[in-house]
Chains A and B, each alone.
Chain A
């Protein structure tokens, strides 16, 4: 089943083009990571998918038009946005009561059992919780909803590494199954490298790269080239070259592993390395990928 299908998705704010004709197709059971520099159009794309912003072009999410059917769509779609959006005045128990009250697919017992594993008190107000705890609470609420699509827009922004690891572990172990679909944007690319099934780079409102993670691993190889073989390696047309501690590291697209092994140490690149390489080729000033 196709969960998200977009054709020629466009959105402009005045003269700034946020989305410049994006074609996108996300099948059920995938975990898609959308990676891009600040202002690339990631959040705009997610907002269009969630029915929070108007757009031009065709977009169907679970067979619905998000803009005109947002409240219907939200029975099957959950999202956590990049800023802390849980109302600060609310108590944890009230948040549970409210979601249980309005959401037909919320399993309160499930949310309670997630919360039992944290230090969050039912009587606390959300403004009294740490940033990590607020994210844990939001995740507990969202994971207890039997939704088909989960959209995460920078869900772990500003969290320390322990919370971030725990976040993705919970997501994979307690939530994700093959019938659910997750779309996530993040700058903390290293956190999601082993989580994603699909990868998409987006820059200036356009898709720069889209592939599955299997494809990513078979296509891209990174070689720490021995100094005497740098010239030979460069002849194979690497997509990127960088220097680390005086050694050349070259990134290749669709060059055989055996061929590269003769040049030096071969490994699968990190998403961050590929991102820097691809964005460097597409933009004159590549922007930082991780914080």
Chain B
């Protein structure tokens, strides 16, 4: 009896475990997909920015012949070659910040305003799953999309430049060696994950929390406490530490991310990446803990919230 019941119990247990895991992952997966359905600008925004930039790059490549001779001297200088690539990467970072801020400000507010929260709550999806799915947009999806868009666009740029150089009989070798494309892409990924995801994480989580609480003008409500605290500090202590703190969090200027020299762009191969410095900085972990607390509060809050 025992010998028979054991494998049966095991298979039952494994079936229960697998159904438990699908019952967690499936709602999460579909909750993320529904965010992408609703907010198509999450991927269309970066793509549009990259497309416009590529168009400009194409035009400048075609109109270059006059300066081509001069450029061949410049070709050995990394900064001159990489400038458009760095500009594109910078644009992608800026797009990431804008997309994230506007997404987070609306994430838990829009569903209450349009009453659809009653539909979402009529489905067997927990508030935790919903909030985590929404948080995964600024913390996972947007950074990865921005990185992938940047790399794809840079591939196109590299091909365009190479074609233009080959058409004029010049060598493409300096372009490819100076740019070190693969390393540049990895550095960009590192920079986006550290400076534009982990470092500003508490800011995005704060925006999510306020979007689940405010009845209107979420961005205003999110900014007011920061303005108030900053203003108070300015009056009382005549310092601007708090404003600087919030600002550097948002734009991704982490002191622990070592750029080598202040003028070096993060995708420059000469950049020092110091993951240890970054990961061992107490500010980072304080920020992550604060972000987690904001998210936990947002989960709790969503239970009480209905349409507005």
Q: Which residues of A contact B (CB under 8 A)?
A: 47, 50, 52-54, 70-75, 78-79, 81, 83-91, 94, 97-99, 101-104
Contact = CB atoms under 8 A, between A and B. Distances in A.
Given A71-B127, A102-B124, 8 more contacts: A47-B306, A74-B124, A81-B115, A83-B118, A84-B115, A85-B119, A87-B119, A103-B124
B30 A98 contact: yes
Contacts of A94: 34, 37
B283 to A, nearest CB: 36
B304 interface: yes
Nearest to A142: B122
A101 B29 CA distance: 8
Contact of B118 (A85, A98, A103): A85
B307 interface: yes
Contacts of A70: 121, 126, 303
A101 B116 contact: no
Given A75-B124, A87-B38, A87-B119, A101 B307 contact: no
A83 B123 CA distance: 17
Nearest to A99: B123
B38 A86 contact: no
B27 to A, nearest CB: 5
Interface residues of B, number: 29
B125 interface: yes
Contacts of A50: 121-122
Contact of A101 (B33, B118, B127): B33
B153 to A, nearest CB: 28
B23 interface: yes
Contact of A87 (B26, B114, B122, B125): B114
Contacts of A75: 124
B116 A86 contact: yes
A94 B114 CA distance: 18
B31 interface: yes
Contacts of A99: 123
Contacts of A81: 115, 118, 122
Nearest to B37: A94
B115 A83 contact: yes
B152 to A, nearest CB: 26
Given A101-B33, A104-B23, A89 B124 contact: no
21 contacts: A50-B121, A52-B118, A53-B306, A70-B303, A71-B126, A71-B127, A71-B129, A72-B124, A74-B125, A78-B122, A83-B307, A85-B118, A87-B114, A88-B114, A89-B38, A90-B34, A91-B37, A98-B33, A98-B34, A102-B30, A102-B123
Contacts of A79: 118, 122
Contact of A71 (B37, B124, B307): B124
Contacts of B119: 85-87
A183 B104 CA distance: 37
Interface of B: 23, 26-27, 29-31, 33-34, 37-38, 111, 114-119, 121-127, 129, 303-304, 306-307
Closest 8 CB pairs of A and B: A101-B30, A71-B126, A87-B116, A85-B118, A74-B124, A85-B119, A75-B124, A102-B27
A182 B31 CA distance: 28
A97 B30 CA distance: 9
Contacts of A103: 123-124
B115 A101 contact: no
Contact of A102 (B115, B117, B125, B304): B125
Given A53-B306, A87-B38, A89-B38, A104 B118 contact: no
A88 B119 CA distance: 11
A188 B31 CA distance: 36
Contacts of B111: 87
A47 B304 CA distance: 11
Contact of B115 (A52, A72, A85): A85
Contacts of A85: 115-119, 122, 307
A62 to B, nearest CB: 13
A101 B26 CA distance: 7
A178 to B, nearest CB: 24
A216 B147 CA distance: 68
Contacts of A84: 115
Contacts of B129: 71
Contacts of A101: 26-27, 29-30, 33
Nearest to A74: B124
Nearest to B307: A83
Contacts of B38: 87, 89-90
A71 B118 contact: no
B166 to A, nearest CB: 45
Given A90-B37, A101-B26, A102-B27, A52 B116 contact: no
A53 B307 CA distance: 12
